Chain A
Amino acid sequence: MNSEIEPRLDKLLAGMDDVRVKLIRPRRIRIDVPSESLPTLLELLQGKASYVHLSAISCVDWIDNGEFELVYHVWSYESQSLVSAHTRIPRDPGVYLSIYDLYQPAAFFERDIHEMYGVFFEGSPDMEKFILTEWDGPPPMRKEFNSEEFVNQNFTWEEYRPEWLEEIEAEGGGIVKPASHARR
Chain B
Amino acid sequence: MKRKDISIPVEQPKRSNPLANVFDELMDFCRSRSMFMLHYCTGCGAIELPPAMTSRFDMERLGIQPMVTPRQADILLITGYVSIKTLKRVIMTYEQMASPKYVVGICSCTVNGGMYWQSYATAKVLKDYLPVDIYIAGCMPRPEAVIEGLRELMSDIKQGKANSWQRYYKNYDYYLGNQQKLFGDNWQTPTDIIAEARHYNLISEQTEGKHTAVLQQHQKPLEAFEARLKHQQGQAREQ
B120 CB within 8 Å of chain A:
yes
- Choose among B2, B120, B124 the residue that contacts A168 (Cβ–Cβ < 8 A): B2
A18 CB within 8 Å of chain B:
no
- Residue of B at shortest CB range from A173? B1
Stretch at the interface among A23-31, A99-107, A157-165: A157-165
- Choose among A133, A150, A158, A183 the residue that contacts B120 (Cβ–Cβ < 8 A): A150
B125 CB within 8 Å of chain A:
yes
* B120 and A147 contact, CB distance less than 8 A: yes
* B124 and A164 contact, CB distance less than 8 A: no
* A155 and B123 contact, CB distance less than 8 A: yes
Fill in one digit per residue for A104-148: 1 if any B CB lies within 8 Å of its CB, else 0: 000000000000000000000000110011110100100001011
Residues of B within 8 A of A65 (CB): none
* A157 and B120 contact, CB distance less than 8 A: no
Residues of B within 8 A of A147 (CB): 118-120
* A183 and B117 contact, CB distance less than 8 A: yes
Residues of A within 8 A of B112 (CB): 157-158, 160
Task: Please give the distance in Å from A78's CB to the nearest CB on chain B.
Answer: 36
Residues of B within 8 A of A132 (CB): 121
* B85 and A134 contact, CB distance less than 8 A: yes
* A140 and B120 contact, CB distance less than 8 A: yes
* B85 and A133 contact, CB distance less than 8 A: yes
Alpha-carbon separation in the docked complex, A89 to B201 (Å): 63
Residues of B within 8 A of A155 (CB): 113, 123-125
B128 CB within 8 Å of chain A:
yes
Alpha-carbon separation in the docked complex, A145 to B118 (Å): 12
A170 CB within 8 Å of chain B:
no
B14 CB within 8 Å of chain A:
no
- Residue of A at shortest CB range from B123? A155
Which residues 123-181 of B have a CB within 8 angstroms of A? Answer: 123-125, 127-128, 181
Alpha-carbon separation in the docked complex, A147 to B120 (Å): 6
A180 CB within 8 Å of chain B:
no
* A158 and B111 contact, CB distance less than 8 A: yes
A3 CB within 8 Å of chain B:
no
Alpha-carbon separation in the docked complex, A29 to B2 (Å): 54
A151 CB within 8 Å of chain B:
yes
Residues of A within 8 A of B88 (CB): 134
Which residues 1-28 of B have a CB within 8 angstroms of A? Answer: 1-2, 4-5
Task: Please give the distance in Å from A144's CB to the nearest CB on chain B.
Answer: 13
Known: A134-B85, A154-B182, A156-B125. A164 touches B5 (CB 8 A): yes
Fill in one digit per residue for A160-183: 1 if any B CB lies within 8 Å of its CB, else 0: 101010011000000000000001
* B124 and A157 contact, CB distance less than 8 A: yes
Task: Please give the distance in Å from A124's CB to the nearest CB on chain B.
Answer: 15
Task: Please give the distance in Å from B178's CB to the nearest CB on chain A.
Answer: 8
Alpha-carbon separation in the docked complex, A135 to B84 (Å): 9
B230 CB within 8 Å of chain A:
yes
Alpha-carbon separation in the docked complex, A162 to B124 (Å): 17
Residues of A within 8 A of B119 (CB): 147, 151
Residues of B within 8 A of A129 (CB): 230
- Choose among A128, A151, A156, A164 the residue that contacts B4 (Cβ–Cβ < 8 A): A164
Can you show 13 pairs from A to B with CB atoms below 8 A apart?
A134-B183, A140-B121, A151-B117, A151-B118, A155-B123, A155-B125, A156-B124, A157-B112, A158-B112, A158-B124, A158-B125, A168-B2, A183-B117
Q: Give the A-binding residues of B (Cβ under 8 A).
A: 1-2, 4-5, 84-85, 88, 111-113, 117-121, 123-125, 127-128, 181-183, 230
* Given A134-B84, A157-B112, A157-B124, 16 new contacts (CB under 8 A): A132-B121, A133-B85, A151-B117, A151-B118, A151-B119, A151-B124, A155-B113, A155-B124, A156-B124, A156-B125, A157-B113, A158-B111, A164-B4, A164-B5, A167-B2, A168-B2
The 9 closest A-B pairs by CB, nearest first: A158-B112, A155-B124, A158-B125, A147-B120, A150-B120, A140-B120, A148-B118, A134-B85, A147-B118
